[in-house]
Copies of this chain bind each other. A is one copy, B any other.
Amino acid sequence: MPRLAERLRRNSRKLTGPRQAILEILRQHPHPMSNKEIHSALPQGGGDLATVYRLMHLLEKSGMVKRFDLGDGVARFELIEEGDDGHHHHLICTRCSGVVEIEECVMGELEEKIAARNGFKAVTHRLEFFGICPDCQK
């Protein structure tokens, strides 16, 4: 807890009430959360939706959260460990929207090949898997 606060301060930022509450919510959720989800998880009066949006932008710029695009037009975020780049993928159920984290990533080699072949620099990628989870198959 004090670690998160410190990371925020390091970016010459203030640790306000709403921010503490939002960081706490993020810390309790290992899965990507949308701004709206974060907002409703906040204790009543815990902060405005616009405040959540603004903080997520800030945290993203500061490298404290990673933005994920799960294909439904809603941005989602996950807190990332210090020193980590948060790079990983998800397996999303198209029926219930459940999410499974996928740590494995075999893109490295292909990515480099593609970058070199096309003369691109600083190439990264975005990869998500979609399917139907065990429960939804019943």
Contacts and interface: CB of A to CB of B under 8 A. Distances in A.
Interface residues of A, number: 31
Contact of A129 (B69, B111, B133, B134): B111
A126 B131 contact: no
A123 B110 CA distance: 21
A123 B91 contact: yes
A61 to B, nearest CB: 15
A122 B132 contact: yes
Counted per complex, copies of this chain come to 2
A128 B89 CA distance: 13
A50 interface: no
Contacts of A73: 73
A125 interface: yes
Interface in A107-130: 110-111, 114-115, 118-130
Contacts of A131: 115, 120-124
